[in-house]
Chain A
Amino acid sequence: MLKGHSSWVFDSKPVILSSATVGGPFEAKGNLADDFDILHEDLWLGQDSFEKAEKKLLEQACEKVVEKAGLKKEDIDFFVSGDLMNQITPSSFTARTLGVPYLGIFGACSSSMEGLSLAALLVDSKAANHVLAAASSHNASAEKQFRYPNEYGAQKPPTAQWTVTGAGAALLSAKGEGPKVTGATIGRVVDMGISDPFNMGSAMAPAAVDTIQAHFRDFNRDPAYYDVIATGDLGKVGHRICKDLLQKHAMNIPEHILTDCGVMIYKKDQPVMAGASGCGCSATVTYGHFLNRMKRGELKRILIVATGALMSPMSYQQKESIPCIAHAVSIEMEV
């Protein structure tokens, strides 16, 4: 049901029956390693290309999530998935493996919450009983496509971010026990004219702020309603800008509530410059770390604002600025 200008309230409160996350070697050394279901030592996952490795990540997350819910692939009505690759091949190839009716989406790194909000909408509108929402990214395949070869010796500036090698999946159901998806706010494209692909945090921060403002305007809520408001992958630079920008717009979100998945996932001594990015960042942190904490009763209500930079390798060579977007999804326990 539409709420305000750009939000949905899910009255039937679709349940996240289960969630699963898969990570790579760098994530295994990170802060949230314990929250992954499967961690790989090998960046290639035994495949002969990085693209196939990313597909494998996503396939494993999807298999695991179905297994954890105690269901079979045949029980899934729809599969909604996105990633960063050209023509979203990891998602589509995973859909080929699953054999489940599939909706491919692209919202860059915001695909995780774009997928979750659409999945919740499908369940809430009774268009489906079980929907699988997933997203993935792979460090090497993303670097290869968007920047330089992985072994190329270009110095990265301090604003650069590290693409997460990981996939996260959540299984939504019309009934059951677990955290519930209660609402979503769909973002607008915001472009502040930043064109440096090594400075995504600054480019995406205004989109996150725009969506957060829209969310609280539409739901007429106080920020303290949530235990955590986490942006997707702004990194240290973008997180700081986001925090200050919210203050500038007279939105006072207490410091301990506002956080960023891209700041959380890696340890301080890992050489990730400003932090993490990628669909896999918000997907693994949300479907792993945050949902685990909700199930342990540490968090009651969370708002995930997944941010995405909607550029292509060609668009920035043609000196186009980077249009950005953010989608917010609220997940609540015991409602």
Chain B
Amino acid sequence: MSSQKNKKLTPIQQEYQAFAKEREPKKRVGRNILRAFFIGGIICTIGQGLQMIFIKYFNFTQTTAGNPATAILIIATVILTGIGAYHKIAQFAGAGTIIPVTGFANTVASAAIEHRSEGFVLGVGGNMFKIAGPVIVYGVFSAFVVALIKITIQWLGGM
């Protein structure tokens, strides 16, 4: 806990939180990192394999093969989310299933499924990007900032 947050707490609250902390199970960070590394790695390897298949058998180039490979991973994630398996894998894999494109597909699909009961417009349409929205907003914004930096450096003759 940051010292910033601690300042807002009374001494009794701080004492209790230390007391409780001793009795809470620790997050198994080492184990989680290893699992994330291997599951995330497996997903990326599958993606790479798909890309190579598209290049070798379907006449895609190095740059264009990424699109169908990603699409297959997304479709597979959406199916796994739909049958209720994805969140069980994710409980095991942690960041391993969140970081690859599969994680993004899962946020959109899970929110869409969840809010189907509120109808297609206000439910599915309105909530589909509930979790994915921030990723898009800040992803696009940071891409914009990076592009500005690149253009500025080029303009100054740096690249």
The answer to whether B113 touches A199 (Cβ under 8 A) is: no
Interface size bucket, B side? 35 or more
Closest to B26 in A: A158
Chain A nearest CB, measured from B6 CB (Å): 9
Contact indicator per residue, chain B 1-31, by CB within 8 Å of chain A (1) or not (0): 0000000111011101101100111111000
The answer to whether B17 touches A149 (Cβ under 8 A) is: no
Whether, in the assembled complex, B151 has its beta carbon less than 8 Å from a beta carbon of chain A, the answer is no
Q: Could you list 27 examples of A-B contacts with CB < 8 Å?
A: A49-B118, A148-B110, A148-B131, A151-B82, A151-B109, A151-B113, A152-B106, A153-B81, A153-B87, A153-B91, A153-B97, A153-B110, A155-B95, A156-B91, A157-B27, A159-B25, A192-B16, A192-B17, A193-B8, A193-B13, A193-B14, A199-B24, A202-B24, A237-B25, A241-B19, A241-B20, A244-B19
The answer to whether A193 touches B106 (Cβ under 8 A) is: no
Q: Top 8 closest A-B pairs, CB basis?
A: A153-B90, A49-B117, A149-B114, A151-B110, A193-B13, A149-B110, A155-B94, A152-B110
Chain B nearest CB, measured from A262 CB (Å): 15
The answer to whether A159 touches B24 (Cβ under 8 A) is: yes
Within 8 A of B (CB), among A132-147: 144
Known: A151-B86, A244-B23. 7 other contacts (CB 8 A): A49-B118, A51-B117, A148-B110, A151-B82, A154-B90, A158-B27, A159-B24
Closest to B130 in A: A149
Q: Please give, as numbers and ranges, the residues of chain A lying within 8 Å of B117 by CB-CB distance.
A: 48-51
Whether, in the assembled complex, B111 has its beta carbon less than 8 Å from a beta carbon of chain A, the answer is yes
Whether, in the assembled complex, B70 has its beta carbon less than 8 Å from a beta carbon of chain A, the answer is no
Chain B CB within 10 Å — which of A152, A156, A244, A245 has the most? A152
Whether, in the assembled complex, B40 has its beta carbon less than 8 Å from a beta carbon of chain A, the answer is no
Closest to A157 in B: B27
The answer to whether A150 touches B87 (Cβ under 8 A) is: yes
Closest to B77 in A: A153
Q: Please give, as numbers and ranges, the residues of chain B lying within 8 Å of A149 by CB-CB distance.
A: 110-111, 113-115, 130-131
Whether, in the assembled complex, B84 has its beta carbon less than 8 Å from a beta carbon of chain A, the answer is yes
Chain A nearest CB, measured from B153 CB (Å): 38
Which B residues are closer than 8 A to A by beta carbons? 8-10, 12-14, 16-17, 19-20, 23-28, 32, 81-82, 84, 86-87, 89-91, 93-95, 97-98, 103, 106-107, 109-111, 113-115, 117-118, 130-131
Chain B nearest CB, measured from A105 CB (Å): 26
Q: Please give, as numbers and ranges, the residues of chain B lying within 8 Å of A51 by CB-CB distance.
A: 117
Whether, in the assembled complex, A271 has its beta carbon less than 8 Å from a beta carbon of chain B, the answer is yes
The answer to whether B20 touches A152 (Cβ under 8 A) is: no
Q: Please give, as numbers and ranges, the residues of chain B lying within 8 Å of A241 by CB-CB distance.
A: 19-20, 23
Whether, in the assembled complex, A206 has its beta carbon less than 8 Å from a beta carbon of chain B, the answer is yes
Task: Give CA–CA (A194, B94) in the complex, Å.
Answer: 24
Whether, in the assembled complex, A40 has its beta carbon less than 8 Å from a beta carbon of chain B, the answer is no
Task: Give CA–CA (A148, B111) in the complex, Å.
Answer: 8
The answer to whether B13 touches A155 (Cβ under 8 A) is: no
Contact indicator per residue, chain A 185-221, by CB within 8 Å of chain B (1) or not (0): 0000001111000010010011000000000000000
